[in-house]
Structure 1
Amino acid sequence: MRAAIIDGKGIAAQMRSENATEARELAEQGWQPRLVSISVGDTAAAELYVRNQQKTAESSGVEFEARNYPETISMEQLVGVLHGLNADPRVNGIIIQRPLPAHIPVKTLQKAVHPLKDVEGMHPSSIGNIVYNDLALGPCTAVAAVEILKTLPLKLEGLDVTVIGHSEIVGKPIAFLLMGLGATVTVCHHMTRSVAMHSRAADAVFVAVGKPGLVTGDMLKPGAALIDIGINRVDGKTVGDADFDSCAEVAGWITPVPGGVGPVTVATLMKNAVLATRLQMAHYRAAFANTEA
């Protein structure tokens, strides 16, 4: 029996609807969620992402402003821009679009975004909180991938999971999120001796490496869930890290690429924007509370 295709677009639509309701409630209290997108130099590579983010923001009740700065802007100037946005209570979230010019390291910018406005979940404190099972504004792709698994009729406690890929913003956070939910997690990387040995023993497999066709059907346990996070261009088509056809013959559930993790990731970004707004509202109210009343 062929695998059930996981409808990422449907999951994302449900999330957008819930976000819009919460965003409306916040707006009625004077806290309209608002995101600012920062891109630098030639925006062609990021243009599609920005358009998708803006479209999703509008359907999620979140205001969206795209700002583009010239490639000649200095690191110090850009950090100054971020500090200004951090201090502006009308801005609730900051997105840093990639790629960036060579003279602007993305990690430095991520550290400059205030943790309460880190809707991408890239600040070191946001990543670190996951280790303590204290998820607030988590990295969007990792959170989205785990949320997709949670929609399946699988008991996460004790579930054997293999994560292929150990990047700081996807693979590692996924592993920690799953461990926090009670799963038993194996993480594979480029030095793993036999990835297939681990993936064939898993009830669920996550793959985020950036190599098309890396995971094939003979690497899966029959009936396992396969969450494909990879995005690759092959012969003009967008494909994941799994060979979809062979994996679909073995897996119980599988995410398509596109239409799987991608839409849920953008919806998670908007969910973070709404949560960030709520956190900031609470922060300002506590800071300026009238304690003499």
Structure 2
Amino acid sequence: MRSTTACLLNGKALAEKIQGDLKELITILQPKIGRPPGLAVLMVGDDPASAVYVRNKERACAKLGMASFGHHFPGQTSQTELEKVIQELNQDPRVDGILVQLPLPPHLDSVALLHTIAPEKDADGLHPMNLGRLVRGESGLRSCTPAGVMRLLEEYQIEVAGKHAVVVGRSILVGKPLGLMLLKKNATVTIAHSRTQNLAEITRQADILIAAVGKPQFITGDMVKQGAVAIDVGINRIVKSDDNAILVGDLDFESVAPVADYITPVPGGIGPMTVAMLLYNTVLSYQDRQ
């Protein structure tokens, strides 16, 4: 049995490095373009977690010298009102990226709102046109969390080609686009989900295991192959008996870390990478629109 534990894949440090590179690029481009890149974030209602995410994005924009156009709407705002605002932002020459902060109140259709965003301003990389480009292997704005996973693997020089990658979770936000990105890098990909039979048998075959199920500490050490790369996309808030809350991932870190060769922490792993790739997409759109 190994006495060592897995090497931590530090998403926080890499996200800071990416943001530093973007800041330099903005410094070069801004005098030529005549304005900074602009990101518009639309938030509806008072979800506390969403409010924290939006504040973090606004702070990150300020740090890079980007313009931030925050739009905070009351919970009862109608679909028509939001679509009108998005259409105005599509036409606004100061705005390069538009993001609708999820989750939305139940009366709103998030898919229809996403379709309203101009594909070239789709900072989250989730518009059907951008997902279609991903399917076809064409360049375009990429879904932020999967792109962050791929960038982290690249930074640590983890070989993907020829490896068996198992993605647990099939959402349009993470599982499906990540499967396509791994395929493009010549991995053999299995996408598992809530209906998968003998899940542990499948996860134990993974050279690269990605947990994106939204269930706290769902993947345990006995479900992981010795020497695997374990990527945790989940972020779950658990309230302890003393009323203090902690953040945990979809991996049971304590039991997985002694088995895996590499592992992402929660927090400090994929979360910061998602924000970094959102900013990257906005700057890419800024650059491409000139």
Shorter-chain TM band:
over 0.9
Q: 1:250 to 1:244 in 2, by over 3 A?
A: same
- CA distance in 2 between counterparts of 1:72 and 1:175 reads 36
Query: Which residue, out of 194, 207, 213, partners 1:209?
Result: 213
Question: How much does 1:42 deviate?
Answer: 2.4
Identity, % of aligned pairs? Answer: 39
Q: After superposition, what is the alpha-carbon deviation per residue over 1:162-193, rounded to whole angstroms, capped at 9, x for unaligned?
A: 11101111001000000001111111011111
1:233-252 matches, within 5 Å, as: 233-234=237-238, 235=240, 236-252=245-261
Question: Which letter does structure 2 place at the counterpart of 1:197?
Answer: E
**Long gaps (5+) in structure 1:** 282-293
Partner deviation per Cα, 1:172-221 (whole Å, 9 max, x = no partner):
10000000011111110111112211221111100100111211111111
1:117-128 matches, cutoff 5 A: 117-128=121-132
Equivalent position SS for 2:161: coil
1:43 shift after superposition: 4.9
Partner residue in 1 for 2:91:
87
Show the counterpart of 1:9: 12
Query: Is the Cα–Cα contact under 8 Å of residues 62 and 270 in structure 1 kept in the other structure?
Result: no
How many corresponding residue pairs? Answer: 281
* Corresponding position of 2:173: 169
Answer with 187-196 or 22-31: which moved more. 22-31
In structure 2, list runs of 5 or more residues that go unmatched: none
**Greater mean alpha carbon deviation, residues 33-42 or residues 259-268:** 33-42
- Other-structure match for 1:112: 116
Letter of the aligned partner of 1:207 in structure 2?
A
1:76 — aligned with what? 80
TM-score (structure 2 length as normaliser): 0.93
Residues 80-229 of structure 1 mapped to structure 2, 5 A cutoff = 80-229=84-233
- Does residue 65 (structure 1) correspond to residue 69 (structure 2)? The answer is yes
* Larger deviation, residues 161-170 vs 31-40: 31-40
1:41 Cα deviation (Å)? 2.6
2:25 corresponds to 1:25: no
Are the aligned partners of 1:31 and 1:277 in contact in 2 as well (CA < 8 Å)? no
Structure-1 separation of matches of 2:142 and 2:50: 22
CA offset digits 1:21-48 (Å, max 9, x no partner):
1122221112420111111232534110
Moved over 3 A (4+): none
Deviates more, 1:195-204 or 1:150-159: 150-159
The TM-score with structure 1 as length reference comes to 0.92
Q: Given the alignment, which residue of 270, 277, 288 partners 1:279?
A: 288
Preserved contact between residue 166 and residue 172 of structure 1 (Cα < 8 Å):
yes
In angstroms, what is the RMSD of aligned CA positions?
1.3
